[in-house]
């Protein structure tokens, strides 16, 4: 019954918006709202599923006009709280015990209510004040039904609306479904809270309220209650210190932990009386694998150094731009973008804006950017907005320069100083990190059963000998080159003992490189061939 009712509601809402839009385009109506605002209002009337769908669509900034991005980001799911007695029953069903056995007190009047869950204040028997987050009863079934109906509607509409196909709406609906079902599972949020609480335990700048006594289930989560001033409260002082602490915390999360709080808007950030920033609501958590973190670090360093060629290579590696784009035109576009930054005050530099502009490069209009990068970009927009609210004069670029080197070194990818050799050092560090794995795979193949890496060519002994000599010379040449590079890096870093101001390790590397070079030259001279 609910499915049939929702199908009618969704069809009427879609027909109403499309009819209104057609009338506006035909100039039969003088609208009070823009098409983007009207779309936002329509989605809000349809409820939680469609608000979340709109917010997910709003991640695709590279595909949508700015007016639609603003409208979709501003979507609010305005819902009334559900009865406290129903929340009490959900808690008892989740933990299999009466509320009186779990808590000394439980306030049935909710502290806050949202479309997915609402929060109640309670007190444990040991006196600790906690919040009890209770998921709305039946919301999972409603979300699944809504998205199934929406998918069916899109299948009917797509053949008649070619322009919609470039957004890949069916794939987007599937993506939103997976993310939304993950978001409403409070067990996933509890695990995220535990991970972040452990990571920032003892931090003088960041506090994450822990989960209480393993009290969490799919529909209920119990967490220590921690209040404070919202980060955008006018009474918040010491904005410069807080802005720097927040940037530090996100560098740590993104590059060291590989997971980060993906919704850092002011409603989820509080300033405690002890001056620490309290992170709330881990329903949306971003994750970055090691390789993505490497490429993202390269992107940031290229941006800091205003190196358009490196920035393009890092963007290709991240999957931000299409591989078949016109490289010369892309480099011209990036040069223009970075030149614009060079003439702007450092306080106006934006990594998130640069990510978006790179995504909009020619050839990327039909590219499906990975979801984890879209989530990261939205988090960075929110983070930059919050940081600038705390300290309008905060220079994000200067903050990255001062802190990125230490954090990236902890992540195992130290770029060194930002100078003309920054890219070489960074790429050399990444390659060095991969060498043990490469060597391990080669040794396994050589030691395993079968021919391994050996190749035999019957009757081609002379060619084999020639290739063997050529391979040896190439290996010696590469070894010599590597030693020269290593010597140069050791010389620049001034590592180890010195003799008359010169690092001995660097001299040793140069000496070995020269010896291999002379051996190679002598071998070529004896053969009479280059």
What is the CA angle 337-340-343, rounded to 5?
A: 155
Q: Which of 126, 185, 233, 263 is catalytic?
A: 263
Q: Does residue 58 have a pLDDT over 50?
A: yes
User: Average pLDDT for residues 499-515, to the nearest whole number?
Assistant: 76
Higher local confidence (pLDDT), 449 or 52: 52
From CA 496, how far away is CA 176, in angstroms rounded?
54
Closest CA to 330 of 355, 315, 314, 312: 312
Contact 363, 328 (CB under 8 A): no
Between the CA atoms of 37, 38, 42 and 44, what dihedral angle is there, to the nearest 10 degrees? 20
Burial state string for 169-187 with b = 16 or more CB within 10 A and e = fewer than 16: beebbebbbebbeebbbbe
Predicted confidence at residue 418, as pLDDT, reads: 47
3-state secondary structure 389-429: HHCCCCCHHHHHHHHHHHHHHHCCCCCCCCCCCHHHHHHHH
CA atoms within 13 A on the CB side of 396: 28
Cα separation, 414 vs 214, in Å, equals: 38
**HEC letters along 232-273:** CCCCCCCHHHHHHHHHHHHHHHHHHHCEEECCCCHHHEEECC
Cβ neighbours around 59 below 10 Å, total: 24
Q: Is the pLDDT of residue 260 over 90?
A: yes
* Rounded mean pLDDT, 124-144: 92
429: left (phi over 0), alpha (psi -120 to 50) or beta: alpha
At residue 487, does pLDDT exceed 90?
A: no
| pLDDT higher than 70, residue 403 | no
pLDDT band at 415 (very low <50, low <70, confident <90, very high): very low
* Res 417: pLDDT: 44
Confidence of residue 416 (pLDDT cuts 50, 70, 90): very low
Cβ atoms within 10 Å, residue 234: 7
Q: Is the pLDDT of residue 60 over 80?
A: no
CA–CA separation, 333 vs 510, rounded Å? 41
Q: How many CA atoms lie within 13 A of 118 on its CB side?
A: 25
With beta carbons less than 8 A apart as the criterion, state whether 240 and 232 touch. no
In this predicted structure, the answer to whether residue 57 has a pLDDT above a threshold of 90 is no
User: Across all residues in the chain, what is the average pLDDT?
Assistant: 80
Lowest mean pLDDT among 163-172, 194-203, 357-366: 357-366
Does the structure show a pLDDT above 80 at 347?
A: no
Decide: 293 and 373 in contact? Cβ < 8 Å.
no
Query: In the prediction, which pLDDT does 196 show?
Result: 94
Concerning whether 263 is annotated as a catalytic residue, the answer is yes
Distance spanning both ends of the chain, measured CA to CA: 83
Query: Does the global pTM surpass 0.75?
Result: no
Residue with structure tokens 């960075």? 380
> Does position 365 have pLDDT exceeding 60, yes or no?
no
pLDDT at 187 over 90: yes
In terms of Cα–Cα distance, which of 252, 264, 257, 294 is closest to 423? Answer: 294
Residue 379: closest CA among 352, 401, 340: 352
How are beta strands 129-135 and 220-224 bridged, if at all?
Answer: antiparallel
Does the structure show a pLDDT above 80 at 88? yes
pLDDT at 414: 44
């Amino acid at each position: 019954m609910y499915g049939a009712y929702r199908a009618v509601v969704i069809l009427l809402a879609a027909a109403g918006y499309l009819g209104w839009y057609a009338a506006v385009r035909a100039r039969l109506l003088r609208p009070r709202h823009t098409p983007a605002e009207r779309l936002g209002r329509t989605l809000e009337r349809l409820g939680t599923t469609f608000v979340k769908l709109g917010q997910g669509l709003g991640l695709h900034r590279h595909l949508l006009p700015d007016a639609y991005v603003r409208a979709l980001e501003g979507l609010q799911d305005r819902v009334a709280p559900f009865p406290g007695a129903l929340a009490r029953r959900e808690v008892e069903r989740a933990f299999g015990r009466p509320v009186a056995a779990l808590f000394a007190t439980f306030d049935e009047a909710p502290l806050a209510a949202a479309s997915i869950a609402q929060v109640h204040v309670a007190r444990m028997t040991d006196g600790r004040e906690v919040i009890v987050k209770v998921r709305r009863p039946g919301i999972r079934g409603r979300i699944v039904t809504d998205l199934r109906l929406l998918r069916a509607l899109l299948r009917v509409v797509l053949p008649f609306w070619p322009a919609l196909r470039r957004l890949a709406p069916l794939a987007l609906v599937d993506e939103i479904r997976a993310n939304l079902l993950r978001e409403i599972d409070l067990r996933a949020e509890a695990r995220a809270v535990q991970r972040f609480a452990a990571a920032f335990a003892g931090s003088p700048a960041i506090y994450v309220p822990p989960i209480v006594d393993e009290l969490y289930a799919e529909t209920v989560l119990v967490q220590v209650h921690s209040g404070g001033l919202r980060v955008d409260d006018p009474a918040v002082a010491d904005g410069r210190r807080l802005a720097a602490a927040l940037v530090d915390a996100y560098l740590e999360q993104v590059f060291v932990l590989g997971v980060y709080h993906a919704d850092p808007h002011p409603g989820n950030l509080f300033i405690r009386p002890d001056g620490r920033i309290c992170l709330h609501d881990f329903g949306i958590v971003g994750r970055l694998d090691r390789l993505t973190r490497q490429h993202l670090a390269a992107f940031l360093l290229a941006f800091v150094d205003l190196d358009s060629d490196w920035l393009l290579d890092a963007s290709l590696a991240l999957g931000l731009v299409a591989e078949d784009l016109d490289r010369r035109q892309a480099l011209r576009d990036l040069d223009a973008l970075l030149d614009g930054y060079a003439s702007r005050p450092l306080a106006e530099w934006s990594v998130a804006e640069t990510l978006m502009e790179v995504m909009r490069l020619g050839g990327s209009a039909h590219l499906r950017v990975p979801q984890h990068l879209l989530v990261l970009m939205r988090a960075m927009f929110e983070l930059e907005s919050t940081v600038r609210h705390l300290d309008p004069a905060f220079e994000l670029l200067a903050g990255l320069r001062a802190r990125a080197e230490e954090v990236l070194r902890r992540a195992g990818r130290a770029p060194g100083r930002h100078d003309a050799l920054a890219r070489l050092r960074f790429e050399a560090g990444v390659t060095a990190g991969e060498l043990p794995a490469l060597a391990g795979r080669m040794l396994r193949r050589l030691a395993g059963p079968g021919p391994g890496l050996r190749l035999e060519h019957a009757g081609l002994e002379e060619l084999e000998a020639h290739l063997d000599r050529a391979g040896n010379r190439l290996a010696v040449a590469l070894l010599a080159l590597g030693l020269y590079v290593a010597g140069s890096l050791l010389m620049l870093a001034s590592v180890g003992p010195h003799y008359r101001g010169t690092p001995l390790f660097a001299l040793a590397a140069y000496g070995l490189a020269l010896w291999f070079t002379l051996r190679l030259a002598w071998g070529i001279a004896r053969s009479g061939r280059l």
